Amino acid sequence: MWEVHMAERPILFSAPMVRALMASTKTQTRRVCKPAQAAALSHVVEVPDPAERGQVYNGSTFGDEEGEAQFACPYGGRGDRLWVRETFGRPWHHAQPRFFYRATDDEKVGWHPDFDGWTPSIHMPRAACRLVLEVTEVRVERLQDISRGDAMAEGCPFQNMAQGPDPRQWYAELWDQINGAGSWAANPWVWAVSFKAVPSPAEEQRNG
């Protein structure tokens, strides 16, 4: 009988994207698929379940049709969890609140006597995490293949189409801001990861 192995991994998000996660307007993220880029693949397909590993297939392994290239998604597959790393801070004396978050607390810390400055998201410990995501789908696709609906799911702030630019245009500009000028035009292979929010351990403690 196959076993289900749920893994948990960290993932970095910027302050605007953290706010979109909290507003439930962001349910997808795209990150460059480095193995597909390095292999210069012209097409990418899902690899069937490697049953000999004794794990239930979760749609996280991809490669080319010839079987010469094969790689697993670094963000996991369906059912795996991602804990969000974001820019944070903490009081000198660990008073309440235990942590500050730049995405939501930037204005509060100016008057806090014990604030010790912001720490980059890459250094956030698991104990400071307040957002946990469960992966619902993983795809590999060309960046520019993103649909209008998927661009909206990336956290587009213009949820009413009449109030802003085309969602794909917004996302193209966001991608270039994050990854550098010309990175949208390069049209790389990307991991397209869909997810849903789940209670973090801190939330479960408060509600339990």
pTM of the prediction?
0.85
CA dihedral 48, 50, 54, 56 (to 10 degrees): -20
Intervals of CATH 2.30.130.30 along the chain: 8-86+131-200
Mean pLDDT of 5-12: 88
pLDDT band at 5 (very low <50, low <70, confident <90, very high): low
Most confident of 1-5, 24-28, 105-109, 160-164: 24-28
Percent of the chain with pLDDT over 70: 83
* Check whether domain 8-86+131-200 has CATH 3.40.640.10, yes or no: no
Assess contact for 178 and 120: CB atoms under 8 A: no
